[in-house]
Amino acid sequence: MKVSIFDVAKKSGLSVVTVSRVLNNSASVRQKNKEKVLQAMKDLDYHPNASARSLASGKTGIIGLTLTTLHDTVLDAVVKEINDSLAEQGYFLALSISQGDEDSFNRSMFQEDRVDGVILLSPIDADIYVMELKKRKIPFVILDNQQRNPSVPSVMVNNYKGGYDATKHLIDLGHTDIAHISGPYSFLSSRERERGYLSALEEAGLKPFHMEQGEFDIPSGYSIARRWIESGQLPTAVFAADDFMALGVMDAFKNEKIRIPQDVSIIGFDDQIYAEQFQPALTTIRLPFEKIGRQGVDILLKLIKDPTKRNVTMEFDPQLIVRESTAAPRLN
């Protein structure tokens, strides 16, 4: 026979009302009683009907997450942190891969009250989403926003500090001919990382050796490095604005027997899973994905509970991770 809410109430020694409140994550239930209900559910192997619970509470228990790519190990780590944090609070995560346009938004799961809230992860054009979400009164938070907007709840990375720290690391090693490969300027992260690079150089009384714009991928890093090789104008150090471009640079140099870090030091950004596995292991700037994911969930759930809460913008500092691809320049 199928176990019901009445069986859970009997097993726990509490009322059906109390059991119902626990199922709907009500804050009015005492912790001791909540533990009794949860233990009874476990003992009876009781799984509440999601549809019935949704009708009773006016909530779906589902949070929607939209992102534009699955080919990024850092975003994977953020998504896992979000999923784990939501699970701890009794929520399920629904994933949507969006192309960042209005049509894909209108085809998404974020319509017809399918979710209680939305997390936007590194949206290319957040304005499309923000306007619609506000119109539909759906609580949301943006992680890794590419446009500073104090009117929306956001969790951001201090990309300026990351760019500064990466360049300062190379300067402290003794490098003066430092090149930079930025990402596309449509990304705030690209512009801020470049700004940090320029600031560190200016502080040290140095000029940029080369400045190029890549595409946040291995081929663009490779082709830019090939141009430097063919011109005969090589820097002694390179700061690439993401790890994929850095790996492309390393590949081009290694093909020409240019040693890393003996001949050229290279530092990336993001700390993709490949960064540590490549040879030599890549020095990089690590994003605080645990903090990004957990803080995003915390902000969103508070907005769901109280939609009148003020919008907040949280910003976390990245961390310099020194590995094998950077060293002091050779003395001629």
Q: Which residue has the tokens 């430097």?
A: 228
64 pLDDT more than 50 = yes
Looking at the domain assignment, is residue 326 inside a domain? no
- 240 and 279 inside one domain: yes
Looking at the domain assignment, is residue 322 inside a domain? no
Looking at the domain assignment, is residue 332 inside a domain? no
The pLDDT, as a whole number, for residue 106 is 55
- Confidence tier at 55 by pLDDT (50, 70, 90): very low
DSSP helix/strand/coil, 256: coil
- 104 and 244 inside one domain: no
Residue 319, strand partner residues: 286
pLDDT digits (tens, 9 = 90+) for 139-170: 999 998 877 777 889 999 999 999 999 999 99
- 172 and 269 inside one domain: yes
Which of these, 257, 214, 258, 319, lies nearest to 266 by C-alpha position?
Answer: 258
The pLDDT, as a whole number, for residue 224 is 98
Looking at the domain assignment, is residue 10 inside a domain? yes
- 292 and 153 inside one domain: yes
Looking at the domain assignment, is residue 323 inside a domain? no
CATH code for position 198: 3.40.50.2300
Looking at the domain assignment, is residue 330 inside a domain? no
> Which domain range does residue 262 map to?
159-287
> Which of 58-72, 212-226, 318-332 reaches the highest mean pLDDT?
212-226
Which of these, 251, 247, 269, lies nearest to 183 by C-alpha position?
Answer: 269
Neighbouring CB atoms inside 10 A of 135's CB total 8
Which of these, 318, 319, 243, lies nearest to 275 by C-alpha position?
Answer: 243
Higher pLDDT among residues 264 and 107, named by residue: 264
pLDDT digits (tens, 9 = 90+) for 271-316: 998 899 999 999 999 999 889 999 999 999 999 988 888 888 899 9
Residue 267, strand partner residues: 239, 283
What Å distances lie between residue 1 and 7, 37, 315, CA to CA? Answer: 11, 20, 52
Looking at the domain assignment, is residue 194 inside a domain? yes
DSSP state of 59: -
Looking at the domain assignment, is residue 203 inside a domain? yes
- 115 and 165 inside one domain: no
Higher pLDDT among residues 148 and 193, named by residue: 193
- 19 and 93 inside one domain: no
- 210 and 278 inside one domain: yes
- 270 and 297 inside one domain: no
The pLDDT, as a whole number, for residue 175 is 98
Structural domain total, the chain:
3
- 192 and 250 inside one domain: yes
Higher pLDDT among residues 56 and 191, named by residue: 191
DSSP assignments along 266-329, one per residue: EE-SB--HHHHHSSSPPBEEE--HHHHHHHHHHHHHHHHH-TTSPP-EEEE--EEE--SS--PP
The helix/strand count (H/E) of the chain reads as 13, 12
- 141 and 187 inside one domain: no
- 135 and 215 inside one domain: no
Among 269, 287, 305, where does a domain finish? 287
